[in-house]
Chains A and B, each alone.
Chain A
């Protein structure tokens, strides 16, 4: 894979995140203002101190005006980006490249989604005009195809596998219960989740990401200037992105037990960052658990588990808060909620808290010598998706 990466050229100096909630009393603009105000406040900056902005929102606004109007920015370049559910990460990625190029000395990425004003359940794609031949299946149903495929491929009883993915939800609810910003702060047992009515394949509502409003923001600067803003910056080690070609949907070889776009993005990121054994080298990972089977597959695609072994590692508790490699320590999309444009930056926010040892005591991961965190953020469906992976660390190489 051809990418040079920008290892250690850019650092995050501040990052903030609103609570993810059904914010009936807050508009999209309120959420954007809350997230930027918090993020600027940590480093005592104002909006005029930022040279350029990227605003990520999937469906809550169009153009840079989504940010420049509520913040009353004067003469600033603002770019609106959209990349499905990886929109927030995409905003951050573009801000990082702008700084790495030398075009700007300080840039801000903001992600926002105001989902709950639609009045509908779930996340619903913006209806652009079509011939009416496109697939209409929900994302939940598409991801539910993973379970029977994985069970058959590895000879696992479907009931047992159903319990395995419920354990993923149980873990993420456990972590989210220890996160004041999370949408769902109640622990849920895997057994209770298995007892719930199925809505898509064997998945229940509690196998799906929480649907929430929220915003998050991050400020990035050239690495060499980072310490003038904070004594604990996080350095960008890798940023990768793969946009799939959709061949999984038409390829008889594709078997719904892997997301090749994610595996490719991970390999690129490991190569950029010089990570050879992610399971050993990473302190934590924030991954895109839009549905519980997604997190299972990601454990293998991100090389945290051997192929066909992810389910065993889940049952062993390897990815729990006190496991060998904690995953989704903030509750993930499942429990923290998923305001599409904000989620990618929210994932970096959790790495920020954990690596700087600023997470609440009851979910702070064990102090180890590991300095790297991984963020994985995807958008789309099995067979046709975009995937983002970043690696960030506390030490400048």
Chain B
């Protein structure tokens, strides 16, 4: 595009991902290692790019995670600061809260937002020691709010605008001293006791200037060159990364530069994230895409779809009836035959079972392998061609299902796949969420 390309790589949401589906993926990673009885009392979703306005996006994540009906689900939407805002509110709460923070960046081609931005989601369970051993303990922090024009977006537009950088830098520099002092004071810590400083913010120059001004020698390398700046998810993503790579007892200061300054100080706990899908391991098992495909996925390059009818909007009532299957990937299993039915059925294909003699079986965390597959270049898709496979799941259950996150040249019979929650299409502004499979990487 005639610009200098910065070093490193950026993470990008696939064409069938949005902030809700990425949030589901992150939350599954966060919850999977936990004991059955460790359950959140509410799910808080933060994003500057929610799939819906008015409608609560946390609900679909709640449904995909099959959280208890009495678990609350709320959105903290709009501003990038809503991520750290939810984090701080959760830390000050006595509830056990599942934070899901997710963002998809939408900079114009060649804009700084495109160059520096990355799509990511993070999830963390905030609670007390009563809920189990802590990954980190919150020690305290400081908030500084200040009204000035830094970055803004008209709700009807997809691309963010920003004010001239030198002014913006000056505003943050003006705030950092008092914020920092207050944070140290409330935690009774000295600068020397801070093992690690993590700085989150959407303006790279501001981050660099703040790091310099703090004279802290222990500013941790961020994920700028591997993920990019992840908007409302950036703060918790960087905190997660810091906790995944720190030693027990380390003191970590998270500084978030977003319409003011938020500082949160943590002490790393005795345990690390138990899920194998750490940020580093995910980055190590990445797939790369061309810039053309990137533009296509971001909606900045329209390509001719196959000449087939675009899908019709889904039925709200049908989706509500089928929610367990559609959102939770819950199949049925014949009581006598043990035959797994995907989708769930009332009448078994096996004569051994009586009508309605089926029990539920969750398939969301069950892997499978490709029995046979095909590449469909005719069917409507936002990113053709579609790779479709017949998949046999471990322990029973077979389904013809789309494979996503895969190059059509790299599919093979026997390939191990795992279910993933995706946006199949959007029609009449209604997102059709359902499950696909993707190659098992980690």
Residue of A131, A142, A245, A251 contacting most chain B CB atoms (<10 Å): A131
- Given known A-B contacts A124-B308, A127-B312, A131-B321, A199 and B434 have beta carbons under 8 A apart: no
Find chain A residues with CB under 8 A from B311 CB: 127, 132, 136
Residue pair B314, A131 in contact (C-beta under 8 Å) = yes
Contact with B along A120-137 (1 / 0, CB 8 A): 111010010111110111
Q: Given the complex, which residues of A lie within 8 Å of B388, measured CB to CB?
A: 135, 137, 141
Q: Are B390 and A132 in contact (CB under 8 A)?
A: no
A316 at the A/B interface (Cβ < 8 Å)?
no
Kindly identify which residue among A120, A247, A256 contacts B307, using a CB–CB cutoff of 8 Å: A120
Q: Is B133 an interface residue when CB atoms closer than 8 A count as contact? A: no
A140 to chain B, nearest CB (A): 6
Residues of chain B within 8 A (CB-CB) of A135 are 388, 400-401
Contact assessment for A249 and B399 in the assembled complex, using a CB-CB cutoff below 8 Å: yes
Which of A120, A142, A251, A252 has the most chain B CB within a 10 Å cutoff? A252
Nearest A-chain residue to B377, judged by Cβ: A199
Give, as a whole number of angstroms, the nearest-CB distance from B215 to chain A. 55
Within 8 Å CB of B326, what residues of A? Answer: 131-133
The one of B307, B318, B375, B376 in contact with A121, judged by C-beta atoms closer than 8 angstroms, is B307
Q: Which residues of A contact B378 (CB under 8 A)?
A: 121-122, 138, 140-141, 199-200
Q: Is A71 an interface residue (CB 8 A)?
A: no
Choose among A131, A133, A251 the residue that contacts B349 (Cβ–Cβ < 8 A): A251
Contacts of A245 in B (CB 8 A): 349
A136–B380 contact, CB under 8 A?
yes
**Given A131-B326, A132-B424: A200 in contact with B400 (beta carbons within 8 A):** no
CB nearest neighbor in A for B331? A250
What sequence of 0s and 1s flags, for each residue 225-264 of chain A, a beta carbon within 8 Å of any chain B beta carbon? 0000000000000000000010101111010100000000
Bits for A127-161, please: 1 = Cβ < 8 Å to B, else 0. Answer: 10111110111101110110011000000000000
Determine whether the beta carbon of A138 is less than 8 Å from that of B376.
yes
B379 contacts partner chain A, Cβ-Cβ < 8 Å: yes
Contact A130 B314 (CB under 8 A): yes
B79 to chain A: which residues have CB within 8 Å? none
Q: Which residue of A lies closest to B379 (CB)?
A: A138
| A95-128 residues at the B interface, CB under 8 angstroms | 118-122, 124, 127
Assess the A132–B307 pair: CB atoms within 8 A.
Answer: no
Residues of A within 8 A of B386 (CB): 136-137, 141
With contacts A120-B309, A145-B390 known, is A131 near B319, CB below 8 A? yes
Q: Is the CB of A250 within 8 A of B322?
A: no
Judge whether B75 is part of the interface by a CB distance below 8 angstroms. no
Interface flag for A201 (CB, 8 Å) = yes
Chain B's nearest CB lies how many Å from the CB of A249? Answer: 6
Cα separation A141 to B397 with both chains bound (whole Å): 21
Given contacts A136-B311, A249-B399, contact A144 B374 (CB under 8 A): yes
Contact, CB under 8 Å: B308 / A122: yes
- Give chain A residues whose Cβ lies under 8 Å from the Cβ of B379: 136-138, 141
How distant is the Cα of A140 from the Cα of B319 in the complex, in angstroms?
28
Q: Is the CB of A252 within 8 A of B392?
A: yes
CA distance A144 to B390 in the complex (A): 12
Contacts of A247 in B (CB 8 A): 349
- In the complex, the chain A residue whose C-beta lies closest to that of B380 is A136
Q: Is A198 part of the binding interface, using a Cβ–Cβ cutoff of 8 Å?
A: yes
Chain A residue numbers with a CB within 8 Å of B433 are 132
Please indicate the chain A residues that have their CB under 8 angstroms from the CB of B314 in the complex. 129-132
Task: Check: B76 CB closer than 8 A to any chain A CB.
Answer: no
* In the bound complex, CA of A141 to CA of B378 (Å): 8
Give Cα A256 to B432, complex, Å. 29
**Would you give the 0/1 interface string for B358-394, flagging 1 where the beta carbon is closer than 8 Å to chain A?**
0000000000000111111111100000101010100
Inter-chain contact A148/B372, CB cutoff 8 Å: yes
Task: Give the contacting residue for A131; candidates B315, B340, B392, B402; CB below 8 A.
Answer: B315
When distances are taken between beta carbons in the complex, the residues of chain B under 8 Å from A137 are 374, 376, 379, 386, 388, 400
Interchain CB contact under 8 A, A141 and B399: no
Give the shortest distance, in Å, between B372 (CB) and chain A (any CB). Answer: 5
Tell me which residues across on chain A come within 8 A of B321, comparing CB atoms: 131
Complex: chain B residue closest to A201, CB-CB:
B374
Do A250 and B342 touch (CB < 8 A)? yes
Q: Closest residue to A118 on the B side, CB-wise? A: B309
Measured CB to CB, the nearest residue on chain B to A246 is B349
Chain B: which residue is nearest A119 at the CB level? Answer: B307
B40–chain A nearest beta-carbon distance, Å: 27
Evaluate contact between A250 and B399: CB separation under 8 angstroms: yes
**B249-269 interface bits toward A, Cβ cutoff 8 Å, 1 = contact, 0 = none:** 000000000000000000000
Of B325, B376, B392, which contacts A141 at CB under 8 A? B376
B295 contacts partner chain A, Cβ-Cβ < 8 Å:
no
When chains A and B are docked, how far (Å) is the Cα of A149 from the Cα of B400?
14
Q: In the complex, which of the residues B342, B371, B388, B399 has the most CB atoms of chain A within 10 Å of its own CB atom?
A: B388
B283 contacts chain A at the CB level, 8 A cutoff: no
Cβ contact of B374, chosen from A118, A129, A200, A250, cutoff 8 A: A200
| Interface members, chain A 239-296 (any B CB < 8 Å) | 245, 247, 249-252, 254, 256
B309 touches A133 (CB 8 A): no
| CB of B299 within 8 Å of the partner chain | no
Q: Are B318 and A249 in contact (CB under 8 A)?
A: no
Q: Which among A129, A198, A250 has the greatest number of chain B C-beta atoms within 10 A?
A: A250
Interface pair A250/B398, CB less than 8 Å apart: yes
Question: Counting CB contacts under 8 A, is B109 at the interface?
Answer: no
Q: Which residues of A contact B339 (CB under 8 A)?
A: 250
B105 interface hit (Cβ, 8 Å) = no
Q: Is B341 an interface residue (CB 8 A)?
A: yes
Interface core residue of A130, A137, A141, A199 (most chain B CB under 10 Å): A141
Q: Are A251 and B398 in contact (CB under 8 A)?
A: yes
Residue B221, interface by CB 8 Å: no
**Nearest CB of chain A from residue B56's CB, rounded to whole Å:** 19
User: By the criterion CB–CB under 8 Å, are B400 and A130 in contact?
Assistant: no
Q: A130-B314, A131-B318 are in contact. Are A120 and B399 (CB under 8 A)?
A: no
Closest A-chain residue to B434, C-beta based? A133
User: Could you tell me the distance in whole angstroms from the C-beta of B331 to the nearest C-beta in chain A?
Assistant: 9
Our pick among A149, A198, A250, A251 for the contact of B375 (Cβ within 8 Å) is A198
**In the complex, B413 has a CB within 8 A of chain A:** yes
Q: Is A201's CB under 8 angstroms from B375's CB?
A: yes
Q: Is the CB of A249 within 8 A of B398?
A: yes
> How far is B163's CA from A205's CA once the two chains are assembled, in angstroms?
54
Chain B residue with the shortest CB-CB distance to A208: B378
Is there contact, CB below 8 Å, between B309 and A124?
A: yes
A149 to B374 alpha-carbon distance, docked (Å): 11
Contact A200 to B377, CB < 8 A, known contacts A121-B308, A145-B390 = yes
Question: Please, how many angstroms separate the alpha-carbon atoms of A132 and B425 in the complex?
Answer: 9
Chain B residues near A252 (CB, 8 Å)?
Answer: 371, 392, 396, 398
Q: Which residues of B contact A130 (CB under 8 A)?
A: 314-315, 318
Asked if A250 contacts B372 (CB within 8 A), the reply is no
* A–B complex contacts, Cβ < 8 Å, 13 sampled: A121-B306, A133-B343, A135-B400, A136-B402, A141-B388, A149-B372, A200-B375, A250-B340, A250-B399, A252-B392, A252-B396, A252-B398, A256-B372
Which 4 pairs of residues, A with B, have the shortest CB-CB distance?
A132-B314, A141-B376, A129-B315, A132-B432
Residues of B in contact with A (beta carbons under 8 Å apart): 306-309, 311-312, 314-315, 318-319, 321-322, 325-326, 339-343, 349, 371-380, 386, 388, 390, 392, 396-402, 413, 424-425, 432-434
Q: A144-B374, A200-B378, A252-B371 are in contact. List 18 more A-B contacts (CB 8 A).
A: A121-B307, A124-B309, A127-B309, A130-B314, A130-B315, A131-B322, A132-B314, A132-B424, A133-B434, A137-B400, A138-B378, A145-B374, A199-B377, A200-B375, A200-B376, A250-B341, A250-B397, A383-B400
